[in-house]
Structure 1
Amino acid sequence: MADPPPGVLRAFGAPGPARPLPGGQGTSWRAGDLVLKPESGPVHEWLGEVLDGLSGEGFRVAAPVRTGDGAWSHAGWSATRWVEGEPPDYTAEQTWLGIIEAGRAFHRALAHLRRPGFTGTRQDWWARADRVAWQELAVPLRPEFTEVAARLRGLAGPLGPPQVVHCDLSGNVLFAPGLPPAVIDVSPYWRPPAYAEGVVVADALCWHGMPPSLAAAAGVPVAAVARALLFRLATTSERGAPDAEVRDEARRYRLAAEAIGA
């Protein structure tokens, strides 16, 4: 991915040169105390307004930064403040409990927000897959997923009232000694908080070898994990992953579904 142009650095008052950051989708760059990403549009503008000055007990956020003329983006790029913290040890169950607790604290701070309009109009892979998980959209799934999806639907019951939630917490909570967890790269959805927590448990089961007892230890309903697994498998199906990847993920989703009783 190309580094941020000089005009973008000047717009945000960032010193150069920028250096690439590991993790995520490989599109983030650090310049001084700023992190720059190729990101703009209605979702980003909304996040800028919501996260600007947001605080609460039990979490930190990567605060959005305006350009010198007050905009949330410039030439398709955005900026946030650098936050101290490192990715946690994903082999430890306590890590996942900490991620879920950070998400709960963050969601409490968002509970007053009204539904943003884009949550009903987005058409990216993730948004479509989310609607599939909630039976709001019917699309043909890859044949490798049809059986496990049917079993998961049998467990995917109601989860309570919706609000704005971050539905990609698993790799987006950083930890630092003596500081609350830092929530980064917010992916906003209008769903019950338990669903976002279910995504964390589903990811832990599928990709990090966590035991089925994690859901109970975290107080996350089985129905939330079932919907989250539907969300993840529908995303894989929607984005047209290669056959070998689909087969591997189908195996992981099947084992996770069996772990929660589907």
Structure 2
Amino acid sequence: MYQETVPAHVVDAFQGVPGLPEPAGHGWDHGWRIGPYVYSRACGVAAGWSAKLRGTLQVDGVRLARPVRSTDGRFVVAGWKASTWIDGELARRVDETVLVALRLAEALAAQPAPPEPEQADPFVLADQRAWEEDAPEYRPVTGPLQVGHADLLASTLYHGTQAPVVTDLVPFAAPRPAAYTAALVIVDGLIAGAVDDGIIDRFRHLPDMDQLLLRAVSYRRHVNDLHPESTSNARSHIRRVEDLLMSEAPDTN
């Protein structure tokens, strides 16, 4: 798929250095690296919220890609955002990313939710539908709700033994339980075939994890149903994981 290259006037607005744009990869929203910065398309009203938080948020054992302001103080210019480049790659280190999720959730617990989008997108609708489902395996999840990260596995980079890097904050569509970020990481790892099924037992001790995993895989199923770029191959992997989680759900009868 063709990706629009960052315009020169955007680079100038962020006081970036001129140079040949290099694809930064999926972990950077398919943006472009030029010198010390990565330029990516800014999606939705959450882009400014994410930038402000990444500028100040401290997460134990985790590095955040810090945002860059334009010459007039903006985080978004002509639909583009800029972040400081940090070496790292997406990796099949799902258990470690679950730990990142738990630390990030703790840091985000007191943070306000982002502004509501002007119109419902596939991710908002998918979240609503996932949490409205009432299959027999589902039961109510209690406890405090908070903002969290909806796509952490695809936003966490690793470089040797250095602390992992979170390139962006992709918020939940609505406040959810703290461990839901971790549940999404587990589900995404299982769907991608990046981790063994034993990860379910390794983190089953987290509050309501069985239920959060069911909601997380339901969310991915609805995203796949609603998103125009979804594929039938992805749907088959989601169904495999959903069947696994349904079979492992505690008997509520």
Q: TM-score range by the shorter chain?
A: 0.7 to 0.9
Of 181, 184, 208, the residue aligned with 1:196 is: 181
> In proportion to residue count, which structure has more helix?
1
Distance 1:24 1:205, change over 3 A: same
Matched, 1:87 2:90: yes
Q: How does 1:23-172 map to 2 (within 5 A)?
A: 23-24=26-27, 27-39=30-42, 41-88=44-91, 90=92, 95-118=93-116, 123-135=120-132, 151=135, 154-158=137-141, 160-172=143-155
Tell me the distance in 1 between the aligned counterparts of 2:9 and 2:59: 34
Distance 1:108 1:231, change over 3 A: same
**Secondary structure in structure 1 of the residue aligned to 2:47:** helix
Which runs of no fewer than 5 residues in structure 2 stay unpaired?
none
RMSD between superposed Cα atoms in Å: 2.5
Code of the aligned partner of 2:7: P
The question of whether the paired residues in 1 share the 8 Å contact of 2:151 and 2:170 is answered with yes
Deviation at 1:85, TM superposition (A): 1.8
**Secondary structure in structure 2 of the residue aligned to 1:235:** helix
The TM-score, its normalising length taken from structure 2, stands at 0.85
The question of whether the paired residues in 2 share the 8 Å contact of 1:163 and 1:192 is answered with yes
Partner of 2:240: 252
The question of whether the paired residues in 1 share the 8 Å contact of 2:37 and 2:83 is answered with yes
Deviation at 1:210, TM superposition (A): 3.3
Code of the aligned partner of 1:216: D
Q: How does 1:186-225 map to 2 (within 5 A)?
A: 186-189=169-172, 190-208=175-193, 210-218=195-203, 219-220=205-206, 221-225=209-213
Tell me the distance in 2 between the aligned counterparts of 1:104 and 1:201: 12
The TM-score, its normalising length taken from structure 1, stands at 0.82
Which runs of no fewer than 5 residues in structure 1 stay unpaired?
136-148
